[in-house]
Amino acid sequence: MARYKVDINGVNTANLKVLTNAEMRELFKQIKEGNEEARNELINGNLKLVLSMVQRFNGRHDNMDDLFQIGCVGLIKAIDNFDVNMDVKFSTYAVPMILGEIRRYLRDNQSLRISRHLKDLSYQIVREKEDYYSKNYKEASTSYLANKLGVKEKDIIDAIDSMQQTISIFEPVYSDNGDNLYIMDQITDNKDEVNDLLNSMALKKGLKNLNDKELYVIEKRFYEGKTQVEIAEEMNVSQAQISRLEKSALEELKKHF
């Protein structure tokens, strides 16, 4: 794919307009009023965002048109579900949804094409990580692996990502005298980026609705780990009052989830 001029699905993305934050806010306002043209304009004004996400998979998939279309599905979902009252930029909200759609498509269709170089590199990474952990009892950093193997950090990330997405967890990636190391031994905890983002935004919105005392109690209880008795002493009130403040605060927060 070319860097500046890219034709996908018959669309020359170099000619696409990039919307400002002010323009997007106005379009979201019009969408809320039922303006379908505003929705289309908002979609077209964010196609370059989709393109930037799709380019991450360049060279690892045969049909970039497919990925672009799937990315657009994620973009449309983001537009339809975005709340302009949330304290977050639209692009911050949309990116994990676009990537989530693309990754689900790749996973479900098993359509990644892994180069021999990436596959070999992924095997080397597994060996190096095992060796590093056995000596240091902690995970090797991306920068360490890149330096050790003489490649760029991006190559390390791409190799690990491609291995996790396409290889069976029961496939051996290294064997030493019959002692096999399987992908399942290297599996990490993949977080749901979209849900994490939505939960974070819901929490921020809920916290804004708490009064000063409720917010203070929540911060002390759940961010600093203090007991109700300790907080009561700090505020010079009874433990029962702290309990009531905590209960009312949690009930308010639950409304946003």
pLDDT tens string 47-72: 888 888 888 776 655 577 888 888 89
Residues 35 and 87 in one domain: yes
pLDDT for position 195: 58
Cα-atom radius of gyration of the chain, to the nearest Å? 24
Same-domain check for residues 162 and 221: no
Q: Are residues 14 and 104 in the same domain?
A: yes
Q: Which residues of 74-97 are buried (b: 16+ CB within 10 A; e: fewer)?
A: bbbbbbeebeeebeeebeebbbbb
Residues 15, 100 within the same domain:
yes
Q: Which residues pair with 1 in a beta bridge?
A: none
Q: Confirm whether pTM is higher than 0.75.
A: no
CATH number for 16: 1.20.120.1810
Q: Is residue 101 located within the same domain as residue 13?
A: yes
Are 145 and 229 in a shared domain?
Answer: no
11 and 105 co-located in one domain: yes
Spans of the chain, pLDDT less than 50: 1-9, 111, 165-171, 173-176, 179-191
Burial of 192 (0-12, 13-18, 19+ CB in 10 A): exposed
Query: Domain count of the chain?
Result: 3
Residue 140 lies in a domain: yes
Which residues on adjacent β-strands are paired with residue 182?
172
User: Among residues 109, 126, 155, which one ends one of the domains?
Assistant: 109
pLDDT at 119: 74
193 assigned to some structural domain = no
Does one domain contain both 16 and 89? yes
Cβ-based neighbour number of residue 225 at 10 Å? 8
Residue 2 lies in a domain: no
Tell me the residue range of the domain where 22 lies. 7-109
Q: Which of 171, 186, 201 is the last residue of a domain?
A: 186
> In the prediction, which pLDDT does 139 show?
85
Helix (H), strand (E) at residue 180: strand 179-182
Query: In angstroms, how far is the first alpha carbon of the chain from the final one?
Result: 41
Alpha-carbon gap, residue 187 to 160, rounded angstroms: 10
